[in-house]
Amino acid sequence: MTVRHFLSLFDCSKQELTNIIQRAIELKKLRNNNIPHRTLDGRVLGMIFEKSSTRTRVSFESGIIQLGGQAIFLSPRDTQLGRGETIHDSAIVISSMIDIIMIRTFGHDKVVEFAENSSVPVINALTDDLHPCQLLADMQTFAEARGNIAGKTVTWIGDGNNMCNSYAEAAVQFDFHLKVACPKGFEPDPYYVEKAKGHIEVMHDPKEAIKGSHLVSTDVFASMGQEDEAADRLQKFQGFQVTEQLLDLASPDVVFMHCLPAHRGEEISETLLDDPRSVVWQQAENRLHAQKALLEFLYQQVQA
């Protein structure tokens, strides 16, 4: 039996992604109506974090508990992973005792190697390359706020980082047009741009890129692991702040998203998160619902 993993949006078919999002919307209703949904009763989720997290940790941990399972939080600081035990060996051992594993780490090759040696599904909870779980929540949020995203225009403003790469994958999987506006030298990885060929345009003028857009998204200028570059990036990203005035140039029914955490006054104006066009709090909450649907989906594949 082949174990299904979720390291990238391309690990699921378009139909599977649509089903996961539909289920997320259903699970949200069940929770809001206090209807029990213990579909993963007694299952254990392993959570390996080599980088900090608020939303991802809280949503996965609450999510598995609400589904009737439990979570084990594994930090490299107090497991042998932090003392040189190989990913290969750790994956074999940990997956022999646990039902599903999520990993947040630096190099994308680490989650790939872990998955190759794991006997249970592995979820990418953010690497330097991709953040596919966030895109499930973003796509759920757009579906709730505006309906089908197919054929719409999405603008990414700022760093061509892990989130931007995942937007490039989403453009293909959810069939929208992505315009990326980034400073020269901060374009998304050519590997992901190539994969999104026909769905993506990379440009350098935010005002041009935002015209007619139905969804505008941005992220911090310096991601986790780039703390030393923060001051330099602040200079180089001048002109790439998303403000209410910039958003006025988008489609009148635009929604604004940010995966959070945000640096108010840097990549966004101080007040943008509070603008009526911002759906960031709903987007953050949807991490919970979307990942519950993902956990159910991956576990169903194990049983199939």
Q: What are the binding residues for L-ornithine?
A: 162, 219, 223-224
- Minimal distance, residue 67 CB to ligand NVA, in Å: 23
Does residue number 223 form part of the binding site for ligand NVA (CB under 6 A)? yes
Contacts of ligand NVA in 102-131 (CB under 6 A): 126
Helix (H) / strand (E) element for 285: namely helix 280-303
Is 199 one of the catalytic residues? no
Is 205 one of the catalytic residues? no
Return the residue matching tokens 């403003």: 157
Residue number with CB closer to ligand NVA (69 or 183): 183
Return the residue matching tokens 């872990």: 114
Partner that binds at residue 54, options ligand NVA, ligand CP, none, CB closer than 5 to 8 Å by kind: ligand CP
Partner that binds at residue 161, options ligand CP, ligand NVA, none, CB closer than 5 to 8 Å by kind: ligand NVA
Residues of each annotated binding site for carbamoyl phosphate? 53-56, 80, 104, 131-134, 259-260, 287
Q: Are the beta carbons of 295 and 33 closer than 8 angstroms?
A: no
Is 219 one of the catalytic residues? yes
Is 134 one of the catalytic residues? yes
Contacts of ligand CP in 122-181 (CB under 6 A): 126, 134
Is 104 one of the catalytic residues? yes
Selection from 207, 198, 276, 294 nearest residue 242 by Cα: 207
Distance (Å, rounded) from C-alpha 146 to C-alpha 148?
A: 7
Angle (CA) 178-296-171 rounded to 5° is 5
Q: Are the beta carbons of 123 and 136 closer than 8 angstroms?
A: no
- Minimal distance, residue 127 CB to ligand NVA, in Å: 9
3-class secondary-structure state, position 142:
helix
Is 131 one of the catalytic residues? yes
Determine the residue with CB nearest ligand CP. 56
- Minimal distance, residue 286 CB to ligand NVA, in Å: 14
- For residue 190, whether the previous peptide bond is cis, meaning omega lies within 30 degrees of 0, is no
> What are the φ/ψ torsions at residue 232 (nearest 5 degrees)?
-65, -40
Enter the DSSP assignment of 4: P
Residue number with CB closer to ligand CP (122 or 257): 257
Distance (Å, rounded) from C-alpha 196 to C-alpha 200?
A: 6
Exactly one of 4, 5, 43, 56 binds ligand CP (CB under 6 A); which one? Answer: 56
Sign of CA dihedral 91, 11, 55, 230: positive
User: Residues interacting with ligand CP, by CB under 6 A?
Assistant: 53-56, 126, 134, 259-261
User: Residues interacting with ligand NVA, by CB under 6 A?
Assistant: 126, 161-163, 219-220, 223-224, 259
Catalytic positions, written as ranges: 104, 131, 134, 219, 259, 287
